[in-house]
Amino acid sequence: MTSNNRLSSLSTCFLAFIISISSIAQNKSSIIIYPDKAQHIINKHIYGHFAEHLGHCIYGGFYVGENNTKIPNTKGVRNDVIDALKKLKIANLRWPGGCFADTYHWKDGIGPKATRPKMVNVWWGGVTEDNSFGTHDFLDMCEVLGASPYISGNVGSGTVQELAEWVQYANFEGVSPMSTLRKQNGRDKGWSVSFWGVGNETWGCGGNMKPEWYANVYRQYATFMTDWNNSKKLFRIASGASSSDYNWTEVLMRDIPHHMLEGVALHHYSVIDWNKKSSATEFNEEAYFATMKQALLMEELVTRHSAIMDKYDPSKKIALVVDEWGGWYDVEPGTNPGFLYQQNTMRDAMIAGTTLNTFHNHADRVRMANLAQAINVLQAVILTNDEKMVLTPTYHVMEMYNVHQDAKLIPVSITASDYVFGKEKLPAVSASASIDKNGITHISLVNIDSKNQQEISISIPETQHKAVTGRILTSPRLQDYNSFESPYKIKPAEFKETKLKEGFLTTIVPPFSVIVLELK
């Protein structure tokens, strides 16, 4: 270490000490960012979404049919949705489930639509699925969106051959039974699908398996999922743990040979109580606090699952893929309970902002994630009602944050004041930072406190920034949302409450708001 480095690291420690002492004052938080320690890339695939055949996610959400003359569409997919998701820079899209995936037989969804077999969607409302949206519809739509497809294979009720043939159908460029069938169905070139899930929630709706059993099943399925002559390698993702089921991750990492495994999944929903989820819009502070406790648990979950993965895979070859996350409440009154349709408030913006910060800060291991779900289901970024479309607060957070995609993570240390509710407390402030290819630094800040603003001082040692601009997402009430009647109630606005001087940035973040700062 040179004397200059030693001096600068001593001064950073001193700075941290001074800042943390002064942060003991109420509603003052401090952050130090470490540009010299930037090392890992925030994988853009953390910004993935999820489209299940569930309620009105696919039908009415993405897809309205080729013959629809009321809603402008491209090959049946809504143009307004395409535009909105392109602006979001949607990185990948997971399909066709979820629980639905382990009931889905992909050959039912190819060929002439009029003759496709119908099935019952047993998990979601018992409705009839006519298979009018199938493999071609999904993969062509991903091309239009500029998103990488992530196909979730049927392990629960499918066969090894069925999944192997799906891979061949989607990817093989030579002459084979499946590539010939694809060509007969109008698509010459394969889609080069890289991301493949080997079952979903195999501990539950995907087969109620034990981890040891599933690890063996995975090995069998993965054996026949072939790369073919693709330039893109297959990225196979094992069905992962539910929240804190650490044993599940342990067994998969121990029992699956690592050359057969590119990712291990994790699912975690911010649900208060599975038997009493409570309203998405009419909630009190107790419910809000309980939801945020579940959302912030993501930090502990990814830390502990990653630690297990580190034990078996110290070089971090295998990614932790959080392919289902988000808030889960009661369905909107009067809607089908099996359709999981819920509104989306500033509470959801808090879940999105804090969760994405967590993913960024674990960029070394968390390299892919999927918000559940994209449209009209759970914590959606888009709601549709016939020809109307609404962008939710969650959409706006993901759009504001997309500046971090593929940027280099700048580690941060945060001394946050507490958000206190009754006898409990949570850290009020969450943050992450990155530097992009053009040398621009972005800092994302979330204040989850429902009542108090946060005065935040950010120290940025050893860098020279001359200008700061920002955007904020906030609203007068935590329960506020965008409705079809008032679709622009909540939207990002310019944020000017910042002062930048000699390596210090100070700002005031209002209660329950999300801010992204840009430093040049």
Q: Which residues are catalytic?
A: 201, 324
In the region spanning residues 334 to 373, those forming contacts with ligand AHR, defined by CB under 6 A, are 372-373
Calculate ∠ Cα 340-342-343, nearest 5°. Answer: 165
Q: Using CB under 6 A, pick the residue from 102, 140, 299, 324 that binds ligand AHR.
A: 324
Q: Using CB under 6 A, pick the residue from 43, 121, 200, 459 that binds ligand AHR.
A: 200
98 part of the interface to ligand AHR, by CB under 6 A: yes
Residue 43 carries which side chain, given as an amino acid letter?
N
The stretches of 382-472 forming alpha helices (DSSP H) are 393-401
Taking a C-beta distance cutoff of 8 angstroms, is the pair 520, 440 a contact? yes
Taking a C-beta distance cutoff of 8 angstroms, is the pair 61, 376 a contact? yes
Distance in angstroms (rounded) separating the CA atoms of residues 375 and 382: 5
Write down the least CB distance from residue 50 to ligand AHR, Å: 7
Taking a C-beta distance cutoff of 8 angstroms, is the pair 4, 12 a contact? no
CB closer to ligand AHR out of 121 and 454 = 121
Taking a C-beta distance cutoff of 8 angstroms, is the pair 195, 92 a contact? yes
Distance in angstroms (rounded) separating the CA atoms of residues 486 and 39: 43
Annotate each residue in 48-67 with x if it binds ligand AHR (CB under 6 A) or - if it does not, as one string.
Answer: ----x---------------
How far does Cα 31 stand from its chain's mean position?
25
Q: Using CB under 6 A, pick the residue from 102, 129, 201, 348 that binds ligand AHR.
A: 201
CB closer to ligand AHR out of 384 and 507 = 384
Q: Please, which residues bridge with residue 319 across strands?
A: 263
Tell me how far CA of residue 173 lies from CA of 145, 169, 176, 402, 448, in angstroms: 23, 9, 8, 34, 50
DSSP state of 63: B
What is the enclosing helix (H) or strand (E) of 85? helix 79-88
Distance in angstroms (rounded) separating the CA atoms of residues 239 and 467: 45
Write down the least CB distance from residue 130 to ligand AHR, Å: 20
Span interacting with ligand AHR, options 21-29, 92-100, 352-360, 493-501, rule CB under 6 A? 92-100
Please enumerate in sequence order all residues whose Cβ is within 8 A of that of 173, keeping only pairs 6 or more positions apart, or say none: 179, 189, 190, 228, 229, 230
CB closer to ligand AHR out of 377 and 410 = 377
CB closer to ligand AHR out of 338 and 487 = 338
CB crowding 116-126: b at 16 or more within 10 Å, else e: beebebebbee
Q: Please, which residues bridge with residue 397 across strands?
A: none
Write down the least CB distance from residue 52 to ligand AHR, Å: 5
Write down the least CB distance from residue 242 to ligand AHR, Å: 8
99 part of the interface to ligand AHR, by CB under 6 A: yes
Span interacting with ligand AHR, options 94-102, 302-310, 427-435, 460-468, rule CB under 6 A? 94-102
Write down the least CB distance from residue 97 to ligand AHR, Å: 5
In the region spanning residues 371 to 410, those forming contacts with ligand AHR, defined by CB under 6 A, are 372-373, 378
197 part of the interface to ligand AHR, by CB under 6 A: no
Span interacting with ligand AHR, options 96-104, 284-292, 295-303, 346-354, rule CB under 6 A? 96-104
Q: Using CB under 6 A, pick the residue from 48, 55, 76, 97 that binds ligand AHR.
A: 97
Write down the least CB distance from residue 205 to ligand AHR, Å: 6
Write down the least CB distance from residue 165 to ligand AHR, Å: 23
Distance in angstroms (rounded) separating the CA atoms of residues 399 and 358: 17
CB closer to ligand AHR out of 53 and 442 = 53
CB-nearest residue to ligand AHR: 98
CB closer to ligand AHR out of 49 and 89 = 49
CB crowding 314-338: b at 16 or more within 10 Å, else e: eeeebbbbbbbbbbbbbbbeeeeeb
Write down the least CB distance from residue 95 to ligand AHR, Å: 11
Taking a C-beta distance cutoff of 8 angstroms, is the pair 147, 158 a contact? no
Coil, helix or strand for 155?
Answer: coil
Question: Nearest CA to 517 among 467, 477, 462?
Answer: 467
CB closer to ligand AHR out of 97 and 149 = 97
DSSP state of 349: H
CB closer to ligand AHR out of 93 and 517 = 93
In the region spanning residues 257 to 296, those forming contacts with ligand AHR, defined by CB under 6 A, are none
323 part of the interface to ligand AHR, by CB under 6 A: no
Binding-residue total with ligand AHR (CB under 6 A): 10
Binding interface with ligand AHR (CB under 6 A): 52, 97-99, 200-201, 324, 372-373, 378
